[in-house]
């Protein structure tokens, strides 16, 4: 009897919460944005079981593939709260291409994974179009991805996104170099704001402790809180790659989770340490506000957030001015923020400025 009832019910995948037609519509919506990122090495088109990329390693003596993967983390909650999803794709791309860049590699191609509770083609288009624009700006191709509809797993309107990037570098030019030494200079490149790290603390301060809303106007920020929190992570490849062939960049630090204290030691050889002058650059207002609102200690700020510096270049003293001038000529501000000293791979930071 039960089997007969089920047959008469004629249940479908759509009845279970998965809309295959919506998925197909989403693919159609993003096709042109994805194709706009293609490099000459890309083979085929969307719809295959895998993305195809025929690398051209002309000019490389001993090419090494460098891979990276990351997600956006709880910053996604801000997107859910605001209903705005056009910046999240850039966050996913930036977290990956910036990591690959930190090894001295040029990003080649990127793939994304998007998991949703119920597929909304417009929402998918916003997310993937943002990722495509970020790939195009970073010089890498978006050659594939996966959109998984998982009813009952995510709440309505919510999703998770992750990215995967592959780049290439000359083996002899991989970073960090082992000759980072006392006297070398740290050059900081500005962030756009919070980027994609520390949002569990941000949400606790703003929405639990302060009881704020994403629409709250914050005069110091010049607009609503949500707009500030959603500023996408900066893309550094096109800023930094031209420097690698001209200057002897010894190391690159992507300031992500763990801030200054956990990320800078990743490039330091034994016997070295770093001293940071926290007064050497203008700290964006959002960091001072968060510290004040939450009563956060200086150490915690520099271990959780980027504090306005998204990427650090380690160079010889004699090349520091040249690097800063080369960046300035392209309209990119940069700051001497510290130096390498003798030590035990530790980081010391001056007092946080509010």
Helix (H, G, I), strand (E, B) or coil at 88: helix
The confidence score (pLDDT) of residue 11 equals 72
Cβ atoms 259, 274 nearer than 8 A? no
pLDDT < 70 stretches in the chain: 1-9, 12-13, 15-16, 20-24, 26, 351-354
The confidence score (pLDDT) of residue 352 equals 44
The confidence score (pLDDT) of residue 5 equals 53
Sign of the CA dihedral running 348, 298, 185, 176: positive
Query: What is the spatial distance between Cα 61 and Cα 169, in angstroms, rounded to a whole number?
Result: 10
Summary count for the chain: helices (H), strands (E): 12, 14
User: What share of residues in the chain are helix, strand, coil (percent, to 5)?
Assistant: 40, 25, 40
16-173: what fold? 60s Ribosomal Protein L30; Chain: A; (3.30.1330)
With CA atoms as reference, report the closest residue to 340 among 322, 320, 326, 311. Answer: 320
pTM of the predicted model over 0.85: yes
Across the strands, what pairs with 145? 112
Domain span(s) for CATH 3.30.1330.10 in the chain: 16-173
The confidence score (pLDDT) of residue 28 equals 78
185-349: what fold? Phosphoribosyl-aminoimidazole Synthetase; Chain A, domain 2 (3.90.650)
How far is Cα of residue 205 from the mean position of the Cα atoms in its chain?
A: 22
Strand 63-71 with 159-170, pairing: antiparallel
The confidence score (pLDDT) of residue 16 equals 66
Phi, psi angles (nearest 5°) of residue 106: -85, 125
Can you tell me which residue has the tokens 């994304």?
Answer: 112
Please, is 74 exposed, middle or buried when counting C-beta atoms within 10 Å of its C-beta (0-12, 13-18, 19+)?
middle
Query: What is the spatial distance between Cα 129 and Cα 119, in angstroms, rounded to a whole number?
Result: 16
Cβ atoms 240, 287 nearer than 8 A? no
The confidence score (pLDDT) of residue 18 equals 72
Cis peptide bond upstream of 176, omega within 30? yes
Domain span(s) for CATH 3.90.650.10 in the chain: 185-349
The confidence score (pLDDT) of residue 354 equals 41
Can you tell me which residue has the tokens 């809309």?
Answer: 19
Strand 272-276 with 347-349, pairing: parallel
With CA atoms as reference, report the closest residue to 182 among 350, 339, 345, 349. Answer: 339
The Cα-based distances of 87 to 45, 93, 175 in angstroms read 25, 10, 29
The confidence score (pLDDT) of residue 90 equals 98
């Amino acid at each position: 009897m039960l089997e007969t009832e089920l047959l008469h019910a004629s249940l479908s995948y759509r009845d279970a919460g998965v809309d295959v037609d919506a998925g197909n519509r989403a693919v159609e919506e993003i096709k042109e944005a994805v194709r706009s990122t293609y490099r000459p090495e890309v083979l085929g088109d969307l719809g295959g079981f895998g993305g195809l990329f025929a690398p051209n390693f002309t000019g490389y003596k001993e090419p090494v593939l460098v891979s990276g993967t990351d997600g956006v983390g709880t910053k996604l909650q801000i997107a859910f709260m605001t209903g705005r999803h056009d910046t999240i794709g850039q966050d996913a791309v930036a977290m990956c291409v910036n990591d690959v860049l930190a090894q001295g590699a040029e990003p080649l191609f990127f793939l994304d994974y998007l998991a949703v509770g119920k597929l909304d083609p417009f929402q998918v288009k916003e997310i993937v179009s943002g990722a495509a624009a970020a790939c195009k700006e970073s010089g890498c191709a978006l050659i594939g991805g996966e959109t998984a509809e998982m009813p009952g797993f995510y709440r309505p309107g919510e999703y998770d996104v992750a990215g995967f990037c592959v780049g290439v570098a000359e083996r002899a030019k991989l970073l960090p170099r082992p000759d980072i030494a006392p006297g070398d200079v740290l050059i900081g490149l500005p962030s756009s704001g919070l980027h994609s790290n520390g949002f569990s603390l941000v949400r606790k301060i703003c929405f639990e402790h302060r009881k704020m809303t994403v629409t709250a106007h914050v005069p110091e920020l010049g607009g609503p809180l949500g707009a500030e929190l959603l500023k996408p992570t900066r893309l550094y490849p096109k800023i930094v790659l031209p420097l690698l062939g001209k200057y002897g960049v010894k190391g690159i630090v992507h300031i992500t989770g763990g801030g200054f204290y956990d990320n800078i030691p990743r490039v330091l050889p034994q016997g070295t340490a770093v001293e940071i002058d926290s007064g050497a650059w203008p700290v964006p207002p959002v960091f001072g506000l968060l510290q004040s609102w939450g009563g956060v200690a200086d150490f915690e700020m520099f271990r959780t957030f980027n504090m306005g510096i998204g990427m650090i270049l380690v160079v010889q003293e004699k090349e520091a001015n040249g690097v800063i001038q080369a960046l300035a000529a392209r309209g990119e501000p940069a700051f001497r923020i510290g130096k390498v000293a003798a030590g035990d791979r530790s980081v010391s930071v001056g007092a946080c400025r509010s």
